[in-house]
């Protein structure tokens, strides 16, 4: 992954120094187990640790690369360079093992290390979402479906919803980490013909893994597919949050926006711009992470006991997906921590269309007072459409100003035009006592819609 979207801790996991150190530890622990079985001398195992356990400096890595150019095999190049350091005892290294024992077990370690970082990232994001949810718990704003005003919600509910989603993602990643953390030291085609199963058990314990119950020459790739699929889901959840922020930051909405730092510039051409660049970036990064999912799924099907069609794929998607997701989670956490919200704009938008957000409330009231649902719907919709028209929105005449009748003109003097139209509806007065309806409409509309916010929060946060 390019440095622009990389963080050092995650990047180090995939660097040659860490990979080769893990390779050595796998081989050396296997030697200890072989020595305990009497397969190799205990003295040889001790020498391998003593002479082989040296930092993988740029010079050592360059030497391995040099050998690989000749032998065209990365593990053989590693073993050759190790023998140059260890000496005669190196002949006992890799007893009964095959290259995939080293490569797959190492990949399990690296993916486990990456998952640990990602879980920490999720903890930071969860903390930020919870803090903002509690801060904005009762901050009322209009809910939207299809991008159109629906009924009131609170900004806190938005944050709480994203918190619950990310908490599910943490559970998914915890399980995926558990599934990927397996060790295979089973030899060619996985039969343990040339290496005792106790060697695998010993290496697994030392490397913080569990023995793979049954491998071929490789660890089954359904494990890896699950891991990358979970990363893809997390990336989609990041995009979910980012998309909400991007919509809320639109100039005509401006209910929330990314923090705009002093000295920050929004456009090379237009000095007035304050663009949602962080969340736009997160939308793009989510695509990169999801890009790994299909190749990981396609890696599950291998020929017989193994082929290496999966290898080149994993060398790329392993680093790219985890490094990108690590960066994205931290960028999103920082965005949430500093997100600016505008409660007055939220209230203004909610009240911009004359109370039509209470349409369902009135519909239900009518059905509970001897009006059929069909008649109630027609009554409520008829008056809601008049509200739209009173604001100059006439879909039948989009090119000309809406022609208003006397009642529609009178409604322009009222803040709650929907309630006004309902009280003037002659069809309604014939079937229902308007005074009862007026009393209902005069009651606090907002508390009606938000009365269960505390209950929802208790489900999410247990508070």
Backbone φ and ψ of 145, nearest 5°: -125, 135
Give the pLDDT score at 85.
96
Q: Which two tokens stand for residue 170?
A: 């943490």
Give per-residue pLDDT as tens, 389-398: 888 887 777 7
pLDDT band at 29 (very low <50, low <70, confident <90, very high): very high
Give the pLDDT score at 370.
86
How many other C-beta atoms lie within 10 A of the C-beta of residue 148? Answer: 8
Average pLDDT over residues 364-387: 91
CA-to-CA distance for 64 and 174, rounded, in angstroms? 35
Rg of the chain (C-alpha set): 32
Give the pLDDT score at 1.
67
Average pLDDT over residues 273-302: 96
Give the pLDDT score at 442.
65
pLDDT band at 443 (very low <50, low <70, confident <90, very high): low
Percent of the chain scoring above 70 in pLDDT: 98
Give the pLDDT score at 403.
82
pLDDT band at 266 (very low <50, low <70, confident <90, very high): confident
pLDDT(401) > 80 = no
CA-to-CA distance for 139 and 152, rounded, in angstroms? 10
Q: Which residue has the higher pLDDT, 438 or 420?
A: 420
Give per-residue pLDDT as tens, 129-152: 999 999 999 999 999 999 999 999
From the list 280, 302, 332, the residue with the least C-alpha distance to 126 is 332
pLDDT(54) > 80 = yes
Q: Which two tokens stand for residue 298?
A: 């396609």
pLDDT band at 56 (very low <50, low <70, confident <90, very high): very high
Instruction: Point out the least confidently predicted range of 85-99, 331-345, 435-449.
Output: 435-449
Q: DSSP assignment of 397-419, as one string? A: -TTSPPPP-HHHHHHTT-S-HHH
Give the pLDDT score at 96.
95
CA-to-CA distance for 156 and 153, rounded, in angstroms? 8
Instruction: Point out the least confidently predicted range of 205-214, 317-326, 428-437.
Output: 428-437
> Is residue 96 within 8 Å of residue 203, measured between CB atoms?
no
- Helix locations, 89-211, DSSP H: 99-135, 155-180, 197-207
pLDDT(20) > 80 = yes
Average pLDDT over residues 449-454: 94
| Active site amino acids | 146, 267
pLDDT(175) > 70 = yes
pLDDT(369) > 90 = no
Average per-residue pLDDT for the chain:
93
């Amino acid at each position: 992954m390019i440095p622009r979207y990389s963080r050092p801790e995650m990047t180090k996991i995939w660097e040659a120094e860490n990979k080769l150190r893990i390779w050595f530890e796998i081989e050396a622990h296997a030697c200890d187990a072989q020595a305990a079985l009497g397969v190799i001398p205990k003295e040889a195992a001790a020498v391998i640790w003593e002479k082989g356990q040296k930092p993988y400096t740029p010079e050592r890595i360059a030497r391995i690369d040099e050998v690989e150019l000749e032998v065209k095999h990365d593990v053989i190049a590693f073993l050759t360079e190790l023998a140059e350091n260890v000496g005669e005892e190196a002949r006992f290294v890799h007893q009964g093992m095959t290259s995939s024992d080293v490569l797959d077990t190492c990949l399990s370690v690296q993916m486990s290390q990456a998952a640990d970082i990602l879980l920490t990232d999720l903890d930071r994001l969860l903390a930020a979402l919870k803090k903002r949810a509690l801060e904005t718990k009762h901050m009322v704003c209009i809910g939207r479906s299809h991008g159109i005003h629906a009924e009131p919600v609170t900004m806190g509910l938005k944050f709480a919803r994203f918190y619950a989603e990310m908490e599910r993602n943490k559970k998914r990643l915890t399980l995926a980490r558990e599934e990927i953390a397996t060790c295979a030291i089973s030899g060619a085609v996985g039969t343990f013909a040339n290496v005792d199963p106790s060697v695998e058990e010993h290496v697994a314990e030392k490397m913080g893994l569990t023995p793979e119950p049954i491998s071929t020459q490789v660890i089954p790739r359904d494990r890896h597919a699950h891991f990358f699929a979970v990363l893809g889901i997390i990336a989609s959840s990041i995009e979910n949050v980012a998309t909400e922020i991007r919509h809320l930051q639109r100039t005509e909405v401006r209910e929330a926006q990314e923090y705009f730092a002093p000295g920050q510039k929004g456009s090379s051409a237009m000095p007035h711009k304050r663009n949602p660049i962080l969340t736009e970036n997160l939308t793009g990064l989510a695509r990169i992470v999801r890009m790994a999912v299909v190749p990981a799924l396609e890696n599950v099907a291998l020929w017989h006991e193994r082929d290496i069609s999966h290898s080149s794929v994993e060398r790329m998607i392993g680093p790219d997906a985890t490094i990108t997701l690590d960066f994205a989670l931290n960028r999103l956490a920082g965005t949430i921590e500093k997100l600016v919200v505008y409660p007055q704009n939220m209230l203004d938008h909610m009240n911009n269309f004359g109370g039509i957000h209470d349409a369902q409330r009135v519909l239900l009231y009518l059905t509970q007072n001897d009006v059929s649902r069909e008649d109630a719907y027609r009554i409520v919709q008829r008056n809601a459409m008049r509200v739209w028209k009173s604001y100059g929105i006439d879909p039948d005449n989009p090119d000309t100003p809406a022609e208003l009748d006397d009642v529609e003109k009178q409604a322009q003097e009222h803040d709650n035009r929907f309630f006004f139209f309902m009280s003037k509806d002659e069809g309604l007065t014939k079937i229902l006592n308007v005074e009862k309806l007026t009393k209902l409409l005069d009651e606090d509309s907002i508390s009606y819609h938000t009365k269960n916010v505390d209950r929802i929060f208790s489900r999410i946060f247990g508070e």
